[in-house]
Structure 1
Amino acid sequence: MSVFRSLKHHNFRLHFIGQAISLIGTWMQRVAISWLVYRITGSALLLGLVTFLSLIPSLVLAPFAGSFIDRHNKFKVVMVTQIALMVQAGVLAAMVWLNYYSMIWISVLSLAQGLINAFDTTARQALMVDLVDDKEDLPNAIALNSSAFNAARLVGPALAGIILSSFGEDICFLINFLSFIAVICCLVMMKLALIPASRSDVNIWADLRKGYDYLRESPDLSSLILLLAASSLLVIPYTTLLPVFAKDVFHGDATTFSWFESAAGLGALFGAVFMATLKPGRDLIRLTILSSTVFAVALLGLAVSSSIVLALAATAATGGGLMIQNSAINTYLQTHASSEMRARTLSYYIMSYQGMLPIGSLVIGYLAHYFGVGVVVFAEGIMGILIVLVFMLHQRGISHWIRVLHVIRLRYLR
């Protein structure tokens, strides 16, 4: 039962149930909108553009969102953003059902989703520490939260593949709209005793500067954020190209695409379960290095796969490596950042992940359009290995200076 120990906390249990249901709808919508765009355009570049629009607000707004949330009630922010996401899904469902859609409207709604998510993701991450009464259960709660996300990634695309083939994209969007009812009901039933947010008289731009200075003075935190930023720019955008693998490389349909998404979700689910079983005190830096390496090598395997079975196996491995990488970094930041700087630290984490990803998706989509999906994904795997090597060299430098400062303190400051 140690794997599920954080579920004993009432508030986290409600959060877990609501997210587990809602995220299935979220993944169905992601698959449906990717398939809709590629079906009507046949363009890898436009696939990258839609991903760009849905995530670029995180690059611009995440630090601002972190400062905003540090000053306001995190729970209320989450409630408002979940309702707004529900409305966005409802508008998308109605638009496709009425056959009144185009790339312009899809782009506008993708951008709206990104604007909302910039605040929603930061607020939910910052709220996590308040959902468990025993802080030793926080790493387990983060891992279980990730497992819910990736279990939904396994189930959602599989359901989307069936519904896309039988009914169409609008039903996927409708199911996502209805799934938000669960998460909103669970939020209403929570019993939180939040410490009132301090109303700082300092200008919010000064708060942003404080967050930046804090990370600059914390090389262990900033190095992990930079690793994730580089990975999000140059490696993780391979997910944008999965519809191309399904349709053009392996000559499949929407069901084939759902297999790729589900394979990535299955690998990620195994990664999340692995993280949930970790005992406190595990070396998260080393785990980040190992998982990042697995992720990069699996991408090389996906790029050269000649059969769909091998491609799906490689995709599952990428999902596992990516999940463990992100979860290890998230857990380290949550447990090592100071409480008054946690939301701002997490906002930079979200900016490095969701903010850099749209730029990478746009670039990767453009390159795949001209050089082919296999060449581009192979190059991403090589870049992933190089990023890990640079991070390892950087970590050796940090460890060296920590030892030097320790010796100085012992000799001269006693």
Structure 2
Amino acid sequence: MVRIATLKNMFRSLAGRDFRLYFFGQVISLVGTWVQQVALSWIAYRVTGSAFMLGLIAFSGQIPMLLVTPLGGMLADRFSRRNILLTTQCVEMSVAVSLAVLAYYDEFSSWALIAASVALGLAGAVEMPARQAFVTEILRDRSHMSNAIALNSLTFNVARLAGPAVAGIILAAFSDVVCFAANAVSYVASIYTLMAIHPRKQTLRRSGGPLLDGVRYLREFKPAGWLVMSVAITSFCVSPFMTFMPVYAKDIFHGGPDMLGTLMGASGFGALLAALFLANRKSVTGLGNYIVGGFFLCGLASVGFAYNRLLTLALPMLVASGLSLIIVVTSCNILLQSMVPEQLRGRVMALYTMSFIGMLPVGSLIMGALAHKAGVQVAFLLGGVMAVSMGYILKRRLPRLRTEARPVLAEKGLLSD
């Protein structure tokens, strides 16, 4: 009975029809996305053989998140968020079909990989702020918001765990063509469920204003500003894990695409554990401590992974890195969405997206250049030192930030006794 009650609490927001449809549609679509991501990463290293080119291709896909996401945030506060999501899903499906055609004719080049990454990045930059804000729009019970945000993270991490494993199997047994085709088909589930959802009336949202309003909010309300800064630092510190896994799979552990899938799957498993843990929490109390602990764990995992050549040690450290990443990023998301005024939600979540996904291109480019000159191990070492340093700084500031955030959270009834 206790286990049943725990599971019911963990998935309580799925009781709502619209969120349940959205949840399962996203799981299917995101598994396909990760299958494509692994295939694209493997092909990029196979075609170029360069750690710097891996960083450049990752930069090409991620830089739109830094430059175009503000537009996505303003659109999310002005227009139907569901229509924005439907449009971007169709664009991403078209890119997947194009990649399948290129793979079939074996026409991949560095420029083709960069172009595909840019197209996906542009679509994602418009999509992500709307996706972050859309979750609160399809909830009928607002007390389930923190659980829904954690489950939204869970969809990503279930896909992150299953996708690389599926990609490894497909690449080994079939071909990269099948990976891209599978991703194209997976978008059908997302598009269908989005069309079946009935979000709350748009009159509940204010008309959008300039992005500067969101920036001003983060500057004046320190707890929100530090949450966004924490996500940005985390994103930079974990960029080596995102960018250089093909190097470790091929050159350090002497494997193929199945090894890449194993390494990325280990990180995804840690992320899944973190998302399940956060989904089972009933309040936002204590999330600040988890953010600090996540920084320390991320830093230690990165430093330990840097010069390790034993797969048996690498896998637990990848689990730790995935767990710490989601603890920090999802905890920040929950706290931020719990505090932000509704009329600023789209723009503030755009800034959140910029800080997380938009910082990845900066990390990818800098770490790629550093890896090219000094080796990938130095990049991991630098990321680890930065994460531990941020954990220490945030630990010292946490009491003051709690004091400022408490009245806002208490007014919304989000603090436990």
| TM-score (structure 1 length as normaliser) | 0.92
- Decide whether the 8 Å contact of 1:238 with 1:380 is kept in 2: no
CA distance in 2, matches of 1:98, 1:249: 31
Q: Say whether 1:308 aligns with 2:274.
A: no
Partner of 2:331: 328
Given the superposition, is the C-alpha separation of residues 394 and 64 from structure 1 closer, same or farther in structure 2, using an over 3 Å criterion? farther
- Decide whether the 8 Å contact of 2:21 with 2:193 is kept in 1: yes
Q: Say whether 1:3 aligns with 2:10.
A: yes
- Decide whether the 8 Å contact of 1:150 with 1:272 is kept in 2: yes
CA distance in 1, matches of 2:143, 2:70: 27
Partner of 1:192: 199
Residue number among 140, 154, 163 corresponding to 1:147 in the alignment: 154
1:17 partner amino acid: F
Alignment of 1:240-279 (within 5 A): 240-279=243-282
Partner of 1:109: 116
Deviations 1:288-330 (A, max 9, x none): 1112211111112212323101101110110011011111001
2:166 partner amino acid: L
CA distance in 2, matches of 1:400, 1:12: 33
CA distance in 2, matches of 1:209, 1:192: 27
Deviations 1:50-81 (A, max 9, x none): 11111111111122221121011111111111
Residue number among 24, 48, 61 corresponding to 2:55 in the alignment: 48
CA distance in 1, matches of 2:134, 2:23: 13
CA distance in 1, matches of 2:97, 2:36: 11
Partner of 2:45: 38
Partner of 1:20: 27
C-alpha deviation, 1:100, in angstroms: 2.1
Q: Say whether 1:175 aligns with 2:178.
A: no
Q: Say whether 1:338 aligns with 2:341.
A: yes
Partner of 1:217: 220
CA distance in 1, matches of 2:401, 2:26: 38
Partner of 1:166: 173
In angstroms, what is the RMSD of aligned CA positions?
1.7
- 5+ residue gaps, structure 2: 1-7, 407-417
Deviates more, 1:305-314 or 1:114-123: 305-314
CA distance in 1, matches of 2:238, 2:264: 17
- Decide whether the 8 Å contact of 2:300 with 2:384 is kept in 1: yes
CA distance in 2, matches of 1:284, 1:225: 14
Given the superposition, is the C-alpha separation of residues 70 and 369 from structure 1 closer, same or farther in structure 2, using an over 3 Å criterion? same
Given the superposition, is the C-alpha separation of residues 399 and 80 from structure 1 closer, same or farther in structure 2, using an over 3 Å criterion? closer
Partner of 2:412: none
C-alpha deviation, 1:212, in angstroms: 1.2
Given the superposition, is the C-alpha separation of residues 342 and 164 from structure 1 closer, same or farther in structure 2, using an over 3 Å criterion? same
1:100 partner amino acid: E
Deviations 1:116-151 (A, max 9, x none): 000111111110101211111111111111112111
2:261 partner amino acid: S
Q: Say whether 1:380 aligns with 2:383.
A: yes
C-alpha deviation, 1:281, in angstroms: 3.7
1:157 partner amino acid: P
SS of residue in 1 equivalent to 2:184: helix
Residue number among 94, 100, 107 corresponding to 2:107 in the alignment: 100
SS of residue in 1 equivalent to 2:53: helix
Residue number among 98, 117, 125 corresponding to 1:118 in the alignment: 125
C-alpha deviation, 1:224, in angstroms: 1.2
C-alpha deviation, 1:397, in angstroms: 5.2
Q: Say whether 1:363 aligns with 2:395.
A: no
CA distance in 1, matches of 2:150, 2:234: 20
CA distance in 2, matches of 1:144, 1:39: 35
Partner of 1:409: none
CA distance in 2, matches of 1:72, 1:48: 34
Partner of 1:77: 84
- Decide whether the 8 Å contact of 1:235 with 1:383 is kept in 2: no
1:153 partner amino acid: R
- Decide whether the 8 Å contact of 2:370 with 2:378 is kept in 1: no
SS of residue in 2 equivalent to 1:310: helix
CA distance in 2, matches of 1:143, 1:399: 21
Given the superposition, is the C-alpha separation of residues 400 and 331 from structure 1 closer, same or farther in structure 2, using an over 3 Å criterion? closer
CA distance in 2, matches of 1:332, 1:131: 19
CA distance in 2, matches of 1:275, 1:314: 20
- Decide whether the 8 Å contact of 1:229 with 1:356 is kept in 2: yes
- 5+ residue gaps, structure 1: 404-414
C-alpha deviation, 1:391, in angstroms: 2.2
Given the superposition, is the C-alpha separation of residues 210 and 62 from structure 1 closer, same or farther in structure 2, using an over 3 Å criterion? same
CA distance in 2, matches of 1:255, 1:66: 38
Partner of 1:412: none
Partner of 2:289: 286
Partner of 1:131: 138
Given the superposition, is the C-alpha separation of residues 272 and 104 from structure 1 closer, same or farther in structure 2, using an over 3 Å criterion? same
CA distance in 1, matches of 2:283, 2:106: 52
SS of residue in 2 equivalent to 1:109: helix
- Decide whether the 8 Å contact of 2:302 with 2:380 is kept in 1: yes
The total of aligned residue pairs comes to 398
